[in-house]
Copies of this chain bind each other. A is one copy, B any other.
């Protein structure tokens, strides 16, 4: 740290991305990337003609991508915000709506704590239930005589499905939370929603709740983690607030080629559905196999499994897998220390994982 560093940032603990070791070739099941390449239209869009146009700025209004997102998600373009990854969308939402603090579960995407600290936002951290599900009652406040709720007096962010548990809550619960907290913004982070069994997004609730903001990403189900594109859908007024911040910070936040790729990715619904189905199949297959080996595997609606076993400590399994060339993710949190988070890859990758675990235990 330099002697010049702003004192408000001195205690920051930055986010720790999943490791990207370069020492050898791993079966990489640690950062929830897709095993499939982006859609053929995306591949075709990455070409010399687009490269020549790199001399020109990207569109600061992101018009073609907002238009395509509007069509795909069934909302108006004024309901759409686009970020350099959904992390950027989340950061702008925390800045915009964090004045009274943010509540979120104790076991969830660790980035929320990081951006709350960055923006000097107070945190109200709610424990998950013993079965690792989100306790919806924690986000409603007190019940009033007329049956409504007081709300909790701050904004809320819930990853749904949650990470790293993989467990989802239903839309009726999200509706209850939005209704109880009408004076604050409720963010539903749907990075993994496309892999859910029913695949239902909270976007359909947006016409009903002007305090609901849904974030999604091209990094997982669209196979474009390296392109850095995420988006948020919400009422026109809250999207405008986020645009005010974006245009005060980095108006050209999404580059030309990623923008073009994102448009192409959205157009190919068949490819998208096929890949999401394959992930669901491989998830089911892997979960069953792990359970047959005695693992407890949470009910995942995502492209990863969260699993533990009495036979082997979480950290030991992580290390033993890494030694054998399979990378999974282990979290240094005592509440989940016996678990590992395993990304769902291709069938072949899952077979290597399962075979390697069998060798270890």
Inter-chain CA distance A219–B12, complex, in Å, is 31
Size of interface on A: residues with Cβ below 8 Å to B: 92
Contact of A4 with B37 in the complex, beta carbons under 8 Å: no
Identical subunits present: 2
A352 within 8 A of B: no
- A34-74 interface code vs B (CB 8 A; 1 in, 0 out): 11111000111111101111111111110000000000000
CB of A247 within 8 Å of the partner chain: yes
Determine if B14 and A42 form an interchain contact, defined as CB atoms under 8 angstroms apart: no
Instruction: Check: A33 CB closer than 8 A to any chain B CB.
Output: yes
Q: Which residue in B9, B38, B91 is a CB contact (below 8 Å) of A244? A: B9
B-contact 0/1 string along A1-21, CB 8 Å cutoff: 111111111001111011010
Chain A interface main SS type: loop
A210 vs B96: C-alpha distance in the bound complex, in angstroms? Answer: 34
Question: Is there an interface contact between B51 and A17, defined as CB atoms closer than 8 Å?
Answer: no
Q: Tell whether, in the assembled complex, residue B2 and residue A210 are in contact, meaning their CB atoms are under 8 Å apart.
A: yes
Question: Which residue of the partner chain, among B1, B6, B224, contacts A54 with CB atoms under 8 Å?
Answer: B224
A211: Cβ under 8 A from any B Cβ: yes
Say whether A84 contacts B5, CB under 8 Å. no
CB atoms of B250 and A85 under 8 A apart: yes
Q: Which B residues are in CB contact (< 8 Å) with A245?
A: 9, 12, 118
In the complex, what residues of B have CB within 8 A of residue A17's CB? 57, 60, 251-252
- Contact partner of A223 (CB less than 8 A), chosen from B28, B47, B55, is B55
Q: How far is the CA of A228 from the CA of B84 in the complex (A)?
A: 11
Closest CB in chain B relative to A233 CB, distance in Å: 14
A34 / chain B contacts, CB cutoff of 8 Å: 55
Q: Does A223 contact B115, Cβ atoms closer than 8 Å?
A: no
Residues 221 to 264 of chain A near chain B (Cβ within 8 Å): 223-228, 235, 237-238, 240-241, 243-258, 261
Q: CB within 8 Å of B: which residues of A?
A: 1-9, 12-15, 17-18, 20, 28, 31, 33-38, 42-48, 50-61, 84-85, 87-88, 91, 95-99, 114-115, 117-118, 155, 183-185, 210-211, 219, 223-228, 235, 237-238, 240-241, 243-258, 261
A-B contact pairs, 28 of them (CB 8 A): A1-B237, A2-B238, A5-B238, A6-B96, A9-B241, A14-B248, A15-B247, A17-B252, A36-B55, A37-B51, A37-B52, A42-B54, A43-B48, A44-B48, A54-B225, A54-B226, A55-B224, A56-B225, A56-B226, A57-B225, A57-B226, A58-B228, A85-B250, A117-B248, A118-B245, A226-B257, A227-B255, A257-B257
